[in-house]
Structure 1
Amino acid sequence: MAAGGAQPADEDGGGLRTALSGLTTRGRSFIAAGVAAAVCAYVLGQSDLLRVGLLLAVLPLMCAGLLFRTRYRVVAVRQLSPARVTAGSEARVHLRMDNVSRLPTGLLMLQDRVPYVLGPRPRFVLDRVEPGGRREVSYRVRSDLRGRYPLGPLQLRLTDPFGMCELTRSFSAADTLTVIPRTEPLPPVRLSGEAAGYGDGRQRSLALAGEDDVIPRGYRHGDDLRRVHWRSTARYGELMVRREEQPQRARCTVLLDTRRTAYQGAGPDSAFEWAVSGAASALVHVLERGFSVRLLTDTGSSVPAEGAGGFAGATQGSADSAGLMMDTLAVVGHSDEAGLSRSYDVLRGGNEGLLVAFFGDLDEAQAAVAARMRQRSGAAVAFVLNIDAWVYGGAPAGHGDGALRLLRDAGWTVLEVGPGASLGELWRQAGQQHSSTGSASWHGGTAATDNGAGTGSGTAGSDSGTGTAGPRTTGSGTAGAGTVGSGPARPGTTGTGAAQPGSGTGTGAGGRV
């Protein structure tokens, strides 16, 4: 919401010059006709014609002077709802005009300045506004292009009853409409990079925690009495309650390749806009799943900044985190970077958990840099856009096989993206590919069931063990520490996972994303 006041009588104090500059075509025509009539009256000696000429010439000047000296005090308030919209969606702008002077206004014409990409400039005509009166108008704006667009300032035109003069006043207040990329809902899939204190891992960690693992603190007014920790209360002699601890969150980095050389074409249906929309969809999805997330570009800049903790979602609300990164994606453009080395320098500094990357055109040199990014992540998914297919059409298969092979050999889950591809379907395929490659990477951890009875086996170094499970259970190997045993499997299927020593079932690494 923005508010601004205009006092037409006190602004633009250019005196007579300002008043005369507001003369309309009608007013100028009256002056010209009056001067011509006065000249003819002087030549012909007609005094009556002279009076007519003087009337024609003086009337516009009197209207301009009176309009300029009229002391209006009008306050305008603009309300933008919502201030952040998705590309292709509409926002409504409400304008409210208040006459705070003791005099009624004349005819008011309003025009709000908006970029032409949002539509034509809205114009409104308001009749006489009584002292203390209010008028409200509204209009809609819409853009298919993401960006940040200014709205305002509002222009107010004052005119006299005869239409001889118009004066324009501008309010000082302006608003900004942020158009963020379109997002697509993504299905939950199983990927790794999950922390022990979140999701499935959180349930296991809470099951292992006992009463003595609670960190108590002193009772405060308003604390729930059900959280009282009686053992600590007896020990310290005062009422103690269980401290609310935030569970450890899984991390996710969304990498967006913005290199100018990696894309061709422009417009809302271009490959670059698909990559930006894909990054926005991934950010919203993982934030909703409870991840701590950051947005990283090929320039090495990240949101939130490293000084703010590096990742969003752990210390602030998911809605605020998404808004911060969405505002960045709303205005992101092409960079002049030649490669991905700067983003690699940021990624190699620590454990990134899940890494989701949206790449443009990759040659083998940049694919090698991207392959090294995989070393610091629990799982890595790459969406590589086939730029030739986007520009010239055709199927994406076979494009950049060498670069894609380098990524796959490094452990990336790679999906090639052609024009019109659905990110939701590609996300599902990424989960399926990761599950299949994840099962192959474990050793000796297989399980099978037959009519509800299962058998299992596991190996870990020189230790090994076998065991059987009862009906409708999954068997797992009973072995020494570090044994890899069977994971949960449905009848007629196989599964893999890491089994605890002596445990009945193993749990596969990773959680739904």
Structure 2
Amino acid sequence: MRRRRLLTRRGTGTLVAAFGCLVAANVLGARILLFMAVFLAALTLFSALAVRLPRRSGTVARQISTDLLTVSEASRVTVRFTLRALRVPHGLWHDVLPDAVAGDSSGEYPAETAQLSYLITGVRRGVWPLGPLMLRTVDPFGLAQREQAFGDTRTITVVPEVFALTPLAVRIGAAGGTAHTSSTRLGQGSDNLSPRGYAPGDSMRRIHWRATAHRGELMVRQEEEESSPDALVVLDRSAGRWDPQGDAADPAFESAVSLCASAALHLAAEGYSVDVIDTAGTLLGALRGHEDDRDGLLVALALVTPRGEARELAALVGGTPPGPLVFVTGRVDEEDAALLRPAGAAAPLLFATEPLPGAADAARQHGWTVAALGTDVAEAWDDALAARSGAGDVPR
């Protein structure tokens, strides 16, 4: 953050004029110029002392209308600023914003109330500092200025943009993505489940007291195993798939992260249990219908960057093939695509931001539905669904 100089341009000009008058007074022998030089220098010094000497302290409290700020989403920031000073100075305030958010966070001080408010819009995902609050005051003559920071910074998390996607026209089993239940194993259930006889090793917390009193022997609750079809979303973040990152964001990788988030939340809304992993096998999020699952995934995706090497996809999928499998990658050639095996997934979808010649055909031979991913995430998803419905059944 660039610090402002003590003197304004007017103050600097006044000081230069005072020096010029002093030189001219010595050259021309004009006493009036000497008086003018002393007056201008004294005025500049007085202005500098007037803005620098008063002691000021204050507290800053910020409140953001949304806990997580989505890219392209607007949120309101409310700042409560309490200033302690001998007199209320007049000037301009502004909250320091990172490049990852956009907004006009400045205004005149003092405001009509002790509360300052402004709008910000997410520009780039990540975790960024917001603040401190800067107060800039100028003396009545406009010769000197003072800019002082108040309060600490606050962290703001910008998460990837999530798009509404078209429903996936695939059904895994009879229920599709809708969760179903079956009583097949033991464990903790609820009181209305069918009881069974007590067996050594059963937890005492699972004793069904009503059934025990009715039958005269210890009865325990039979657990109802809840299961739902699984979906897997894989984000290929291996460094070789993406352009080297500098200070600016890679638009291709940002689209990939956005599709990853959109696809995972979309499949979870359709009733699937969704795991989101990267190609190194790191779990980025698990969506199981809990309220915090969504936020946890978005926060994890806000921090991902290209790095490392990729593992074999079959090893990531494991022994139980998922229903839908969404694989999001970057630059992929024909040789790389030939090594991608969907591992028995019922609906394998491959999205590549830069499919090189021959890559799409090589992937389709293994049963992938391939779509190019550009800046429009929803359009790429629709292209994949259209290609899948047009292809019909393909060998795996």
TM score, norm. by length of structure 2: 0.74
User: Amino acid of the residue matched to residue 266 of structure 2?
Assistant: H
C-alpha distance in structure 1 between counterparts of 2:109 and 2:196, whole Å: 70
* Alignment-derived partner of residue 303 in structure 1: 284
Deviations 1:275-310 (A, max 9, x none): 333221221023334444322222332224xxxxxx
Structure with the bigger RCO (C-alpha within 8 Å, sep 6+) is 2
1:25 aligns with 2:4: no
List aligned pairs for 1:146-225, cutoff 5 A. 146-171=125-150, 172-187=152-167, 189-192=169-172, 199=178, 201-202=180-181, 211-212=194-195
What SS does structure 1 have at the residue aligned with 2:328? strand
What SS does structure 1 have at the residue aligned with 2:45? helix
* Alignment-derived partner of residue 137 in structure 1: 117
1:76 aligns with 2:55: no
List aligned pairs for 1:335-484, cutoff 5 A. 335=307, 337=309, 340-348=310-318, 350-351=319-320, 353-354=322-323, 355-360=325-330, 362-363=332-333, 365-371=335-341, 374=343, 379-385=346-352, 387=354, 400-405=360-365, 407-408=366-367, 413-417=368-372, 422-426=379-383, 428=385, 437=393
C-alpha distance in structure 2 between counterparts of 1:55 and 1:236, whole Å: 106
User: Amino acid of the residue matched to residue 146 of structure 2?
Assistant: L
Q: Which has the higher strand share?
A: 2
* Alignment-derived partner of residue 262 in structure 2: 281
C-alpha distance in structure 2 between counterparts of 1:274 and 1:334, whole Å: 13
Q: Percent identity over the alignment?
A: 25
Q: Residues 422, 157 of structure 1: CA spacing in aligned structure 2 closer, same or farther, 3 A cutoff?
A: same
User: Amino acid of the residue matched to residue 343 of structure 2?
Assistant: R
- Measured after TM superposition, the shift of residue 83 of structure 1 is 4.2
User: What residue ranges of structure 1 are gaps of 5+ in the alignment?
Assistant: 1-17, 220-227, 305-311, 390-395, 442-513
1:34 aligns with 2:18: yes
- Measured after TM superposition, the shift of residue 166 of structure 1 is 0.9
Deviations 1:323-377 (A, max 9, x none): 222233334343463xx435544433x4353333234455554345422x515x5
Q: Residues 323, 43 of structure 1: CA spacing in aligned structure 2 closer, same or farther, 3 A cutoff?
A: same
- Measured after TM superposition, the shift of residue 273 of structure 1 is 4.4
Deviations 1:201-220 (A, max 9, x none): 327989xx96325999779x
Q: Residues 364, 140 of structure 1: CA spacing in aligned structure 2 closer, same or farther, 3 A cutoff?
A: closer
Report if the CA contact (8 A) 1:105-1:128 is conserved: no
Q: Residues 370, 72 of structure 1: CA spacing in aligned structure 2 closer, same or farther, 3 A cutoff?
A: same
C-alpha distance in structure 2 between counterparts of 1:336 and 1:302, whole Å: 15
Of 63, 70, 80, the residue aligned with 1:96 is 80
User: Amino acid of the residue matched to residue 361 of structure 2?
Assistant: D
C-alpha distance in structure 1 between counterparts of 2:46 and 2:223, whole Å: 75
User: Amino acid of the residue matched to residue 134 of structure 2?
Assistant: Q
What SS does structure 1 have at the residue aligned with 2:226? coil
C-alpha distance in structure 1 between counterparts of 2:214 and 2:110, whole Å: 77
1:107 aligns with 2:90: yes
List aligned pairs for 1:234-253, cutoff 5 A. 234=214, 247-253=226-232
Report if the CA contact (8 A) 2:70-2:122 is conserved: no
* Alignment-derived partner of residue 306 in structure 2: 334
What SS does structure 1 have at the residue aligned with 2:63? strand
User: Amino acid of the residue matched to residue 382 of structure 1?
Assistant: L
What SS does structure 2 have at the residue aligned with 1:282? helix
What SS does structure 2 have at the residue aligned with 1:258? coil
| Larger CA Rg, structure 1 vs 2 | 1
Report if the CA contact (8 A) 2:103-2:118 is conserved: no
User: Amino acid of the residue matched to residue 79 of structure 1?
Assistant: Q
User: Amino acid of the residue matched to residue 257 of structure 2?
Assistant: V
Compute the RMSD of aligned alpha carbons. 4.6
